[in-house]
């Protein structure tokens, strides 16, 4: 997969001793210093690490509590959730309405100096705006209102609004959320052609493979890895394998030191008992026995002290080795086994036949009808086995409940112990299951929804996931990939992320709709650019319905 490389390498972003604290006293960064190289950089890290805050610091929309941020040239930030007045026009969002108005006045004969000052050097601003909109797949109607745009179009408009002003540094926060494959392709092309520096935050595995540099934000510090996400991942995995070996070796050493200390204590005890018996039996003069006893006690004390020191040192080495084990490498979702036969008929419909534990991806542009197809298959009774559906938008009937209370309410036939044991398989162990639903991140909400769906009796034989990676951090995405790789039932997956689909392992793709179809909105499962072209066909089997 090609990386983005057509960039000016003459300048870079520099953060020096940057600290940032929220008004409530929460410390996000303390003494953070690093240089962002030119080109395309991804910024990865778990949810809550401070990635978005770091982008805002670079953009200058928030100021560091201490330290400095140096950015070459003009900076533009596209936030994760672009917010625009639905009554505003595209021209308003692009920030060119005043310039366009001044241009109209000049074209109509105005010689007012103020109009020329407003236009400045932007005589071609309308042409540039139309070009940016067209390149991003948007209808080049500058007077169209924002309220008529879909979620994906709104994202692309926000990007166009920054590009039209020709920034030197472009900051993108989760840019592929809500984009279908056609829009994603146009975004990738824009990034490839951008002449300045791009820093992007994303969980999109395909996008993360197209960067020059990966920056990891971990525990308030930045590490730089030359290359895409796979290079970073392989290096971290190698480090963690070495750390695991170090823990195993340190644990073995601690056990050996403890065993030697116990053996030494047993030997000293025997020696002391022999000396005491000799003294009682008067086999040696009393004064000699006393001197020997005193010498033995001193020697034993030094021996015990030396062994305790060895044990303490071994325990310290173990603790130090354990510090090298990262929490994000120890969590694994444990999927239940539906015990599915290879010839079980799963779905019987002329649009989609599924037999046995097939793994199918539904692909196609937003609005093509993927979520509608899933809904119709379920409501029409065409799904012939127990199934579990996790929709794109996850909601809870009573968000004030705890995780455990939610699952108990959803499955009143299960005992508290059964619910808690099941939740532990989905990484909600002990007190973690007592957290309120309102406090959960996107990834945690997905794990709760998945846990609830798979707690059904009998265990579902078909798992249906509709855009599951939206709003997930990369760590949770990897947890989900690993879990789905181990899922032994049938799988229907809706996802625009080709990298995610590839890692999960798909047997065949089913394309829903044709590129020129004009079906209605896909419902809650598909939001994004209207009329986007279909994705390129995969190497494997691709059917069209």
Q: 197 and 61 in one domain? A: yes
For the whole model, what pTM was predicted? 0.68
Sign of CA dihedral 141, 142, 146, 152: positive
- Residue ending a domain, choose from 235, 260, 284: 235
Q: Are residues 50 and 79 in the same domain?
A: yes
**Structurally, how many domains does the chain consist of?**
3
Token readout for 34 is 């690093």
Residues 176, 262 share a domain: no
Residue 270 inside a domain? The answer is yes
**Which residue's structure tokens are 């002329």?**
350
Q: Backbone phi, then psi, for 79, in 5-degree steps?
A: -70, 170
Q: What is the mean pLDDT of the chain?
A: 83
Instruction: Give the range of the structural domain holding residue 76, as residue numbers without chain letter.
Output: 13-235
* Structural domain contains residue 268: yes
Which of the residue ranges 77-81, 219-223, 490-494 has the most confident prediction, judged by mean pLDDT? 490-494
The angle at the Cα of 189, spanning 164 to 51, to the nearest 5 degrees, equals 75
pLDDT of residue 522 exceeding 50:
no
Distance, CA of 194 to chain centre: 25
Rounded-to-integer distance, Cα 422 and Cα 407, Å? 10
Q: State in Å, rounded, how far the first CA of the chain is from the last one.
A: 29
Residues 152 and 74 placed together within one structural domain of the fold: yes
Q: Is pLDDT at 293 greater than 80 in this prediction?
A: no
In whole angstroms, what is the distance from residue 210 CA to residue 188 CA? Answer: 8
Residue 337 in any domain: the answer is no
**Last-in-domain residue among 301, 328, 355:** 328
Range in 220-224, 320-324, 332-336 the model is least confident about? 320-324
Mean pLDDT of 15-24: 92
| Mean pLDDT confidence for 6-28 | 79
Local confidence band at 525 (pLDDT 50, 70, 90 cut-offs)? very low
Q: Are residues 323 and 390 in the same domain?
A: no
Ramachandran region, residue 364 (left: φ > 0; alpha: ψ -120 to 50; beta: rest): left
The answer to whether residues 226 and 77 belong to one domain is yes
**Rounded to an integer, what is the distance from CA 303 to the centroid of its chain?**
53
Which is more confidently placed, 230 or 7?
Answer: 230
Do residue 525 and residue 410 come from a single domain? Answer: yes
Q: Are residues 159 and 255 in the same domain?
A: no
Mean pLDDT of the 435-449 span: 89
Nearest CA-CA partner of 336 in 399, 423, 415: 423
CA distances from 326 to 48, 121, 237, 250, 494 (A): 16, 52, 10, 17, 31
Rounded to the nearest 10 degrees, the angle between the axes of helix 181-193 and helix 151-163 is 10
Q: Residue 358: pLDDT above 60?
A: yes
> Does 63 lie in the same domain as 185?
yes
What is the distance between the alpha carbons of residues 461 and 463, in angstroms, rounded to a whole number? 7
Q: Which of 406, 477, 482, 458 is nearest to 437 (CA)?
A: 406
Residues 166 and 44 in one domain: yes
Residues 6+ apart with CB under 8 A from 326: 218, 236, 240, 243
In a domain, 94, yes or no: yes
> Is the domain of 139 the same as that of 270?
no
Residues 415-429: what's their mean pLDDT?
A: 91
CATH number at residue 71: 3.40.50.300
Which strands make up the sheet holding 40-44, listed edge to edge? 75-78, 169-173, 197-201, 40-44, 213-218, 221-226
Q: Who wins on pLDDT, 16 or 310? A: 16
Distances (CA, A) of 378 to 263, 384, 448: 68, 9, 22
């Amino acid at each position: 997969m090609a990386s983005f490389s057509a960039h000016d390498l003459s300048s870079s972003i520099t953060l020096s001793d940057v600290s940032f604290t929220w008004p409530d006293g929460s410390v996000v960064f303390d003494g953070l210093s690093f240089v962002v190289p030119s080109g395309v950089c991804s910024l990865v890290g778990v949810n809550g690490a401070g990635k978005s805050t770091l982008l805002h610091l670079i953009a200058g929309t928030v100021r560091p509590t201490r330290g400095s941020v140096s950015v070459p040239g003009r900076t533009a930030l596209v936030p994760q959730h672009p917010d625009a007045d639905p009554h505003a026009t595209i021209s308003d969002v692009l920030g060119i309405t005043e310039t366009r108005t001044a241009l109209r006045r000049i074209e109509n004969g105005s010689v007012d100096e103020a109009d020329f000052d407003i236009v400045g050097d932007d005589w071609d601003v309308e042409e540039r705006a139309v070009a940016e909109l067209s390149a991003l797949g948007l209808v080049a109607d500058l007077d169209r209102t924002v309220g008529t745009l879909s979620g994906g179009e709104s994202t692309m408009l926000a990007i166009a609004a920054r590009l039209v002003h020709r920034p030197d540094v472009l900051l993108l926060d989760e840019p592929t959320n809500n984009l279908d494959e056609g829009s994603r392709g146009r975004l990738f092309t824009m990034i490839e052609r951008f002449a300045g520096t791009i820093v992007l935050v994303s969980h999109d595995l395909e996008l993360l493979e197209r960067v020059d540099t990966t920056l990891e934000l971990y525990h308030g510090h930045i590490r730089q890895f030359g290359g895409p996400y796979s290079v970073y991942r392989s290096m971290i995995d190698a480090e963690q394998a070495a750390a695991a070996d170090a823990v195993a070796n340190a644990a073995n050493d601690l056990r050996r030191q403890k065993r030697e200390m116990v053996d030494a204590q047993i030997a000293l005890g025997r020696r002391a008992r022999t000396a005491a018996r000799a003294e009682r039996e008067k086999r040696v003069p009393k004064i000699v026995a006393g001197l020997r006893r005193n010498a033995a006690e001193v020697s034993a004390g030094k021996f015990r002290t030396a062994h305790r020191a060895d044990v303490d040192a071994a325990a310290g080495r173990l603790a130090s080795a354990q510090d090298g084990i990262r929490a994000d490498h120890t969590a694994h979702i444990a999927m239940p086994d539906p015990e599915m036969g290879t010839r079980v008929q799963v779905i019987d419909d002329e649009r989609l036949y599924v037999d046995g534990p097939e793994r199918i991806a539904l692909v196609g542009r937003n609005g093509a009808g993927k979520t509608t197809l899933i809904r119709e298959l379920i409501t029409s009774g065409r799904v012939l086995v127990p199934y579990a559906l996790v929709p794109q938008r996850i909601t809870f009937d009573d968000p004030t409940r705890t995780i455990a209370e939610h699952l108990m309410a959803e499955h009143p036939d299960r005992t508290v112990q059964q619910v808690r044991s099941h939740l532990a398989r989905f990484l909600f162990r002990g007190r973690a299951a007592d957290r309120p639903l309102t406090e959960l991140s996107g990834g945690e909400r997905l794990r709760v929804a998945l846990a609830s769906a798979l707690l059904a009796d009998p265990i579902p034989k078909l798992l249906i996931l509709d855009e599951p990676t939206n709003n997930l951090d990369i760590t949770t995405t990897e947890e989900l990939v690993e879990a789905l790789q181990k899922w032994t039932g049938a799988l229907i997956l809706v996802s625009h992320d080709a990298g995610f689909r590839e890692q999960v392992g798909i047997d065949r793709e089913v394309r829903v709709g044709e590129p020129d179809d004009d079906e209605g909105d896909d419902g809650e499962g598909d939001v994004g650019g209207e009329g986007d072209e279909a994705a390129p066909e995969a190497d494997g089997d691709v059917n069209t319905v």
